[in-house]
Amino acid sequence: MAFRKRREALRSILTGSICIRPGSVYDATSIRIAEDLGFELGMFGGSVASLAVLGDPDIALITLTEFAEQIRRMSRASTLPVLVDADHGYGNALNVRRTVQEVEAAGAAGLTIEDTLLPQVFGQAKTQLISLEEGVGKMKAALDGRSDPSLVILGRTGAVSITGLDDAIARARAYEAVGVDGLFFTGIKSRGELEALSAATTLPIVLGGAPEEMTALDYLASRRVRIALQGHAPFAAATQAVYETLKALREGTSPKNLKGIASSELTGRVMREAETKARSGEFLGLKK
């Protein structure tokens, strides 16, 4: 299976003893940059999927087809393993099963399925969760949808900041019991919360953001956190760069005087120019 090596690489991060920070990636270019810089793993957040594909906020407007297509583009462009945020699995447990099939076929190394009630419910401003029982059904369906056993499936909950620590522990234990490969927690605000969740479970942990006092990788590793996210600054940086460049051009700056433009060397590397040249030589008869 073509994607097995990537999935096994993610599995060895999860079963290892250190905590790593993934590179936030969202398209073919950003994943190649992360790969060139030596990141061990890419993280494709639902928020940046929505921004990159739709230019919209993270409110479950993106379709599974659009999400999977963006994964496919990244999988083609790079061999870097990518963990993808498949939100709530685009529907109920049966939709989750289909989501796993599509995300697997698109080449993801792993995915998260969360127990958030999405999309937002009429008349309810606050984030809500589905029941623990429905969450368990979704995790079971996710595992059932997998055909490559090396694909990593993570059960995700933000319960700790929505319904409280006890409920977060109950959910984590229930998802662990059905056989997910790891647990992904969001909304953790203190060491005490992480330590309680870690003590109540045995699976590797992925942390979606953490307060300042919890950024030391050796501390996180000691609590079984193997992957710690750092948000999606690269997308925000790209937005700012495009804004500044278009603004300068609009104001009459000549292209040769623009600041912050990728060198032709960097652009060439990102578009794998040397490989294309070699192929042109080989297949188009353009050898010197």
- Cβ atoms within 10 A of the Cβ of 200, count? 15
Closest distance between ligand OAA and the C-beta of residue 266, in Å? 25
> Which DSSP symbol is given to 77?
H
33 token code pair: 């940059």
| Residue 158 makes contact with Mg ion by CB under 5 A | no
Of residues 4 and 232, the one with the C-beta less far from ligand OAA: 232
- Cβ atoms within 10 A of the Cβ of 234, count? 17
Closest distance between Mg ion and the C-beta of residue 148, in Å? 23
Residue positions counted in the chain? 288
Which residue from 96, 154, 208, 220 is in contact with ligand OAA, where contact means CB under 6 A? 208
Of residues 85 and 102, the one with the C-beta less far from ligand OAA: 85
Asked whether residue 264 is marked as a ligand-binding residue, the answer is: no
How far is the CA of 79 from the CAs of 32, 47, 104, 255, 276, in angstroms?
Answer: 9, 22, 14, 34, 17
Of residues 45 and 182, the one with the C-beta less far from ligand OAA: 45
Of residues 60 and 178, the one with the C-beta less far from ligand OAA: 60
**What is the DSSP annotation of 31-64?**
HHHHHHTT-S-EEE-HHHHHHHHHS--SSS-S-H
| Residue 81 makes contact with ligand OAA by CB under 6 A | no
Which residue from 45, 81, 89, 135 is in contact with ligand OAA, where contact means CB under 6 A? 45
Of residues 46 and 204, the one with the C-beta less far from Mg ion: 46
User: By Cβ distance, which residue is nearest to ligand OAA?
Assistant: 45
Q: Please, what's the b/e burial string for 109-132 (b: 16 or more CB within 10 A of its CB; e: otherwise)?
A: bbbbbbbbbbeeeeeeeeeebbeb
The interface region with ligand OAA, picked from 12-20, 38-46, 118-126, 190-198 by CB under 6 A, is 38-46
| Residue 85 makes contact with ligand OAA by CB under 6 A | yes
**Chain centroid offset of residue 76 CA:** 17
**Residues in contact with 64: Cβ distance below 8 Å, sequence separation at least 6, in sequence order:** 90, 95, 98, 99, 102
Selection from ligand OAA, Mg ion, none that 43 binds (CB < 5 to 8 A by kind) is ligand OAA
Asked whether residue 131 is marked as a ligand-binding residue, the answer is: no
| Residue 66 makes contact with ligand OAA by CB under 6 A | no
The interface region with ligand OAA, picked from 12-20, 41-49, 88-96, 129-137 by CB under 6 A, is 41-49
| Residue 58 makes contact with ligand OAA by CB under 6 A | yes
Contact criterion met (CB below 8 Å) for 153 and 143: yes
Of residues 101 and 230, the one with the C-beta less far from ligand OAA: 230
Name which of 38, 145, 141 is nearest 102 in CA terms. 145
Contact criterion met (CB below 8 Å) for 232 and 24: yes
Which of the residues 66 through 125 are near Mg ion (CB under 5 A)? 85
**Which residue do the tokens 């963990």 mark?**
83
| Residue 14 makes contact with ligand OAA by CB under 6 A | no
Closest distance between ligand OAA and the C-beta of residue 284, in Å? 41
CA distance 113 to 183: 10
Asked whether residue 156 is marked as a ligand-binding residue, the answer is: yes
Binding site for Mg ion (CB under 5 A): 46, 85
Annotated binding-site residues for Mg(2+) read 85
Known binding-site positions for substrate: 47, 156, 232
